[in-house]
Amino acid sequence: MRAGKVVSAAEAAALVKDGDTVTTSGFVGIGVPDELLAAIEARFLETDHPRDLSLVFAAGQGDGKDRGLNRLGHEGLLKRVVGGHWGLIPKVAKLATEGKIEGWNLPQGVISQLYRDIAAGKPGMLSKVGLETFVDPRQGGGAINSISMDPQVELMEIGGEEILFYPSHNLTVALLRGTTADEAGNVTMEREALTIDNLAQAMAVHNAGGVVIVQVERVARAGSLPARDVHIPGILVDAIVVSKPENHLQTYSTAFSQAFTNRISPPAGEIPALPLDARKVIARRCAFELPVNGVVNLGIGMPEGVASVAAEEGLLEHLTLTAEPGVIGGQPASGLDFGAAVNTDAVIPQNNQFDFYDGGGLDMACLGLAQADAVGNVNVSRFGPRLAGAGGFINISQNARAVVFAGTFTAQGLDVHIGEGGVEIRKEGRARKFLDHVEQISFSGARAARLGQPVLYVTERCVFELTTNGLELKEIAPGIDLDRDILGLMDVRPIVNEVSLMDARIFRNGEMDLRTDLLHLDLPDRIAIDPNLGLLFLNFEKMRIRTLDEIKLVERLVSEACVAYGKPVDVVVNYDGFRIDEVLESNWAEMVNGLTERFYRNVSRYSGSAFMRMKLGEVFPDARTHIYESREKARSFLGSNGA
């Protein structure tokens, strides 16, 4: 006689009735209840039931072939689907794009957070996430096809601001996964790589009078599980199914790793460095934007390489990398392991992670680049008949303090060679990525520019920056011809003013010593006083200032040098390639003005960039300030004034 709530997979599948609304757990291959999904598929193929199910899911749950939600991809089994990421479930996506089921693509974070509001009996949730994208009712409301008429999102105005309302769903079945269940249905997740939304989903379905079924590896005696380890209380669980091992892999790439449970730390250097190719070049250039001591999200695909570069450059201890299913700290995994991570600081529920993201917790996000247009819109979600889905992209890109989009300049057959001379295009990709208009707006460039969000678009051959007037070309790789390799392959010409070369280190083998740049370890060497001339040299060439702490560090080191010298000094400052975040310009000016009053006589600044000279003139209008285009002219001015 079986104990408590334990049933067979077939008996669990029989609990799902025609017309039910099903929600499932999982992220790629992590936490996906494949035993339960396989049992429902087998029952449908044998009996033609259950039929006309509605499916609600947040993260993508599949391997891009047959596993995960692909098991439900049969005509008649599904009637409508609301989901966040569709790229890993082509069998279900095909039903939607062909109009055989109703379908909507909504932001992954919104669906994740909506589970909690459904559990609490709320009518829905309010969010700015999705405004001015394809999810906005003015741009289709996330509908995938013409038969999807039931609105899943409404535009409202509250307090004079536009906001989106996402109505609740009546969820009747939850298919979830854990590690160990006791006979009373209490479920722990000690061998799972993530906890995702299991608790919120179980509450939502239980409180609606539905059926909660949990797939586990093993069963324990009732009351024997440590209470603090229980993630899904037994009061929420109706049935437990013990899975076959092949349907309970930790990820679709790794059967089981203690490192992914965060109970051990793998040896340092276990994750190999990337080979020097286009992907690594892009990841390296993105890594130049990493905020020291900041919090970063890395998307799936091309951005995954940034974690490897950060590890290779010794930067991981100076960053907090995160992934949307709840990973905080450590090093995220890639491929079909994506979502898992090693050496993490914490693993929290997915809905809480999106709370953090939506509230502005990310200092930077690095995300994929599939299509872009002249005003900076990005599409990662829909390409003709191919439905990828936005996943967490909209939440993350819309709310991060700075965004870097990463991808090759063209697609489909691109062949490049990376060497000391930079980039050689051996064969151009057949598909253009920089278009007149993107097929679908997953990221609104106009909104980001209007709100002043810093945005870069990084490819293997060039870098663009978002401005209020659209994309501006900022950097070009050595070896690349501007007209042939860039402008000739764009549907709309970008803004082209001053264009600099991408850093040569990006295209060389071996470490770039990026740690020195980002941590300003060489700053003391950039400050020097010639006691014979009474001349202070400040070399800020290619320096990047992104925080108040960095400004304070410059102030402290310059002050120490001037105090040690003991007399007023003339100053020459090199601003070639210098960058400072716009919001910090006034802080920088205040710091410099303070040093000027305390220590400086005449100040001469120079930069080869006309734009930088203009900015310096705005920031330092003082009569003692002189700005030149070369070091020689700056020195000449001081010499003519008796220095």
Active site residues: 324
Q: Considering only CA atoms, which of 186, 150, 212 is closest in space to residue 22?
A: 212
Measured distance between the N- and C-terminal CA atoms of the chain, rounded to whole angstroms: 97
In angstroms, rounded to a whole number, what is the distance separating the alpha carbons of residues 399 and 379? 17
CA 573 to chain centroid: 37
50 CB contacts (<8 Å, ≥6 apart)?
16, 17, 18, 19, 20, 40, 43, 44, 77
Q: Give, as one character, the DSSP assignment of residue 610.
A: H
Neighbours of 493 (CB within 10 A): 14
- Look at the block and give the residue holding tokens 């490819």: 459
Q: Considering only CA atoms, which of 515, 584, 585, 591 is closest in space to residue 553?
A: 591
Computed on alpha carbons and rounded to an integer, the radius of gyration of the chain in Å comes to: 28
119 CB contacts (<8 Å, ≥6 apart)?
200, 203, 204, 207
Answer yes or no: are the C-beta atoms of 274 and 205 closer than 8 Å. Answer: no
In angstroms, rounded to a whole number, what is the distance separating the alpha carbons of residues 474 and 577? 11
Q: Is the peptide bond before 50 cis (omega within 30 degrees of 0)?
A: yes
In angstroms, rounded to a whole number, what is the distance separating the alpha carbons of residues 391 and 396? 10
In angstroms, rounded to a whole number, what is the distance separating the alpha carbons of residues 62 and 30? 9
Q: What is the dihedral of CA 620, 625, 627, 630, to 10 degrees?
A: -130
In angstroms, rounded to a whole number, what is the distance separating the alpha carbons of residues 142 and 500? 40
Residue 92, both tokens? 């279900």
Please count the residues of the chain: 643
